[in-house]
Amino acid sequence: MSETLFTKIINREIPADIIYEDDLSLAFNDINPQAPVHFLVIPKKTIATVNDIAEADRELVGHLYLVAAKLAKSMGFSEDGFRTVMNCNEHGGQTVFHIHLHVLAGKPMGWPPYSEKLKV
Ligand code: 5GP
């Protein structure tokens, strides 16, 4: 698997505001936040898209959610609530091909994400 932008963050080749790390995952603030709190939880293993998640990755992907919930609790927004999103490919709006769980919090989120205005 080729190196991605997020591999470079994992390897400290480019800087990021890292808020959590363990053997399997890393969490860091998004460079272009879309909410008062917006960070990404990523696996250290490179998996390009949700389509590439294998049976063997079940625990790893579950781990990303456990980290999100742990950070939500420690950062104090678990009870107010938050949004988790993992975008996939073009229609999902994915731009970095190393799966990442967006965690957005700090204000009520809008729904649905699809807008007729975007229809082509
Ligand atoms: P996607 O569009 O693939 O779901 O999300 C990619 C996210 O990565 C975007 O929210 C974008 O702002 C964030 N991002 C892109 N490049 C960097 C970077 O160099 N550092 C950080 N911290 N976030 C980045």
Chain segment 92-118, per-residue pLDDT in tens: 999 999 999 999 999 999 999 887 776
Q: Where are the domains of the chain?
A: 5-105
- Between the CA of 39 and the centroid of ligand 1 the distance, in Å, is 9
pLDDT at 46: 97
Choose the residue to mutate in 13, 14, 32 for probing ligand 1, maximizing ligand atoms within 8 Å of C-beta: 32
Concerning whether 91 is annotated as a catalytic residue, the answer is no
Would you say 42 and 101 are in contact if contact means Cβ atoms under 8 Å apart? yes
Which atom in ligand 1 lies closest to the alpha carbon of residue 85?
4
Q: Give the pLDDT score at 55.
A: 98
What pLDDT, on a 0 to 100 scale, did the predictor assign at position 115? 77
- Tens of pLDDT, residue by residue over 36-73, are 999 999 999 999 999 999 999 999 999 999 999 999 99
Report pTM.
0.95
Whether the per-residue pLDDT at 1 is higher than 60: the answer is no
Beta bridge partners of 105: 37, 82
| The pLDDT of residue 67 | 98
Report the run of H or E that residue 103 belongs to, with start and end: strand 101-105
Report pLDDT for 2.
66
CB atoms within 10 A of CB 106: 14
Give how far Cα 17 sits from Cα of 34, 68, 70, 119, Å: 16, 16, 18, 35
CB-defined site of ligand 1, < 6 Å? 5, 16, 28-32, 87, 93-96
The CATH architecture annotation of domain 5-105 reads 2-Layer Sandwich (3.30)
Judged against a pLDDT cut of 80, whether residue 33 lies above it is answered with yes
Residue 79 has pLDDT above 60, yes or no: yes
